[in-house]
Structure 1
């Protein structure tokens, strides 16, 4: 069982409201020491990675910053997570770091150099969470784009973007190009450093990649989107997928689809690590855990839910007929072209009725973009984690803290020993590069059957 922690450099996680509670320290997100403490806790507990979400967007209503979001700290404000990673790597021994970076705002050369630098400075413990963006209508306006690129075309652009970046990482420097011979005064063999050219519909580049090969060369490629197009993108590109948690049956179907898609691309389907989000509230006794969860639930409201949902999808739920479904807004503006997974999940199908807007608000209250929710004592939590894992063919979980970092500390102290005793976690945590921690010793490089390697 791989374990990660989902975080954002903002007041709280998941678009829910928690920072005012006395158990939460997430308002300290502007303090480096806050992140150092969290990283040390999960490094020592044997977690595989810290996942840092990011976006330039923010919740809006009628094109303006949501007053609720600004007042209550719902997905606003945020800081750049890539800047903090090198400091956290220095303070930890083995923990991996997954940084979210979009494919539509800068050139692949810029991303390739940034992640090569991070891979060097973390000793090969870096991953790239590839996103096509969130709140795309907001981001398009913020960056001065004439119009928002539609959902499926953003993924087509992302395919080229990833290909261009991987070409730079994998094909610019031969394995023995770096010499560093002090006596001869020879740093590198120029005959083994090659021009890399890429000519696509959306991306063009030609030249020499100036960053020397890092421990992994290519960062571990994560992806977090389970729309139909998102799953197709993951099957081709992703080494690890953050799967949307709905029901056990739907999650299992998404995992199976991603693995089948990977196999169709000639990849080992078991080489794709599948992770789902989980909100765990644990305490020494069941009743204490329930009481803590109830304290969190009392902080939530329709306004909080609506602010989060408008950020993720561009849809203002409070402006809709509460008795109608989301069909009433599809095709208008950004609706359905951003955060597509969180729209289609409520539209019904496969024998499931579409939910009304009122039901969507109720469904997301206290959940936001979070995954499965588990509340209980350490044994109850471990039992449920195992049940989810066995029912879905998932490979692990990302904790989405309610009260950070207290929830993570509780999990490390109370649940990790139970999972370790059951053989779900190793007695001695894995070490090495992030890719080795996911796939085993000697696997630092992109797999030979990955399109980024197999086409070289």
Structure 2
């Protein structure tokens, strides 16, 4: 195929029965009914570490699928994004069980203060040896979250992104500007632990946050965690272009994904950043077996588990739209107009609404949307075949879209990933798409996203301007 541009590989997970808003945990190939067992995650992370994956990514949210404030039957019986544990609490254990695997966790910008994020991620970066990443989100299932946190109404979409921008800025002001390099002396002869002159107050007065004080966490290997972001709406792209080092692009068609990749790189360049320094990835659910026929049979077993009710529970939780209450013969826009006031549509899950509203010819009907999402949910590209066929398809997708890699979203975890590691990764290495030896060091160094010293934010990243001036000798 084309020149062998290296591919990045992450794994998308959540501490819940399955990922992607689909149904898989009852299948014998799946072990995710053990999602509350520490040993399950330790074994999972060790397998990914040994195989050479770049990172394990945990989605997270306080929200979950509801309909008109209630838990749908399909949410509960199917385990559709419910229940879910807090993945941040398992990261230290996973770091101790692995040697090089990056660990990325989702943390919302709308539920606490940036000093809390700076303290948590600074601590995690120390405990992981610089292998931590932060997936910056404005939240999901916003109507559910508003109720849980006692809010009268969910925050408007545009306001959430303005708040997120300020939240990230203030977090980086603390992580990058709170301490100078060399502030930790640890000199027992003094005895002097810290150089007081190299620890700085952060004063900030913004629209959404204000602060005055000191960060108590000393500089960690990366200082700032590797910054991930996944929004594909216009405000989401702007946030990604300004702050993100790794962006997850929603995988729809090849053409639309390519357009999104190009658009984010363009916005990053306009923000004064090197657009090629940003890693762009999309989701991919890969079913691979020794033969294409066996892979197709495994995929069919997964598809047979899916129902309209499972699709509807996920989509309603993500967007506020109850598809099963709409006229299935109409395009989404017309069906919503005919249904009248059905709730807070458009303030959450905007990417998952706009992609159907903006489709050519008025967009698909409600029935077609249900069929499109059935077995796919929030997943990305669907790839099924033997090792050669899967490798061909992943190469084609990367080459035609400009993507730098894929976030694998297993149908049956962790079995699918063990199959991928055994069958596909050797083939990708043979083609020069993966290194013979997996990278080591900090996550930023492994992804190649850092400045010349590899572990730190690039100098063209806006967070770099918060660094204290370098003292003369």
TM-score band by shorter chain is over 0.9
Output the CA distance in 2 between the equivalents of 1:85 and 1:96.
10
Aligned partner of 1:337 among 347, 368, 373: 347
* Distance (whole Å) between structure 2 residues aligned to residue 356 and residue 206 of structure 1: 53
* Per-residue deviation, 1:442: 2.9
**1:38 CA displacement:** 1.1
TM-score, normalised relative to structure 1: 0.98
Superposed displacement of residue 455, structure 1: 5.2
Deviation at 1:146, TM superposition (A): 1.9
How far the C-alpha of 1:334 sits from its partner, in A, is: 1.8
The 3-state SS of whatever aligns with 1:16 is: coil
SS at match of 2:356: coil
The answer to whether structure 1 residue 373 and structure 2 residue 382 are counterparts is yes
Counterpart in 2 of 1:402?
411
The superposition leaves residues 184-209 of structure 1 with CA deviations (integer Å, 9 ceiling, x where unpaired) of 11011111111001111001111011
Cα offset, 1:352, TM superposition: 4.6
State the 1:354 CA deviation: 1.0
Gaps of 5+ in 1: none
**Aligned residues of 2:177 and 2:466 also touching (Cα < 8 A):** no
| Residue 102 (structure 2) pairs with residue 90 (structure 1) | no
Tell me how far apart the structure 1 counterparts of residues 115 and 343 of structure 2 sit (CA, whole Å).
32
1:50 match: 56
Match of 1:211 among 214, 217, 226: 217
Q: How far is 1:312 from its partner?
A: 1.0
- Contact kept in structure 1, 2:428 and 2:434, CA below 8 Å: yes
Other-structure match for 1:309: 315
In 2, the alpha carbon distance for the partners of 1:337 and 1:326 equals 16
Alignment of 1:127-138 (within 5 A): 127-138=133-144
1:172 to 162, 174, 178: 178
Distance in 2, matches of 1:122 and 1:352, equals 50
Distance, in Å, in 2 between the alignment partners of 1:176 and 1:136 is 43
Distance 1:263 1:455 in 2: 20
- Match of residue 364 from structure 2: 355
CA distance in 1, matches of 2:453, 2:287: 36
Deviation, 1:177, is 1.1
Q: Distance in 2 between matches of 1:203 and 1:43?
A: 38
What residue number does 2:154 align with?
A: 148
1:68 aligned to 2:106?
A: no
1:332 CA displacement:
4.8
Give the aligned partner of residue 418 of structure 1.
427
In the alignment, the residues of structure 2 paired with residue 454 and residue 213 of structure 1 have an alpha-carbon distance, to the nearest angstrom, of 16
* Candidates 461, 465, 470, aligned match of 1:450: 461
CA distance in structure 2 between the aligned counterparts of 1:362 and 1:126, rounded to whole angstroms: 37
Separation in structure 1 between the aligned mates of residue 420 and residue 365 of structure 2, nearest angstrom: 35
Partner of residue 127, structure 2: 121
Shift of 1:356: 1.0
Q: Aligned partners of 2:358, 2:84: CA distance in 1, in Å?
A: 33
Gaps of 5+ in 2: 1-6, 468-473
TM-superposition CA deviations, 1:259-314 (whole Å, max 9, x none): 11111111000111001000000000011000000000000010010011111111
Per-residue displacement from partner, 1:59-95 (whole Å, max 9, x unpaired)? Answer: 1112111121011100100000001111011111100
Alignment of 1:272-287 (within 5 A): 272-287=278-293
Give the aligned length. 455
Query: 1: distance between equivalents of 2:365 and 2:297?
Result: 30
Aligned-residue CA RMSD in angstroms? 1.1
Q: Taking structure 2 as the reference length, what is the TM-score of the superposition?
A: 0.95
* 2:249 counterpart of 1:250: no
Choose the corresponding residue for 1:162, options 152, 160, 168.
Answer: 168
Kept in 2, the 8 Å contact 1:348–1:355? The answer is no
Residues in 1 aligned to 2:148 and 2:293: alpha-carbon distance in whole angstroms = 47
Return the alpha-carbon distance in structure 1 between the equivalents of residues 439 and 409 of structure 2: 22
Change (3 A) 1:337 1:203: same
Q: Does 1:4 align with 2:25?
A: no
Shift of 1:9: 0.2
2:470 matched residue in structure 1: none
Structure 1 stretch displaced more, 313-322 or 247-256 = 313-322
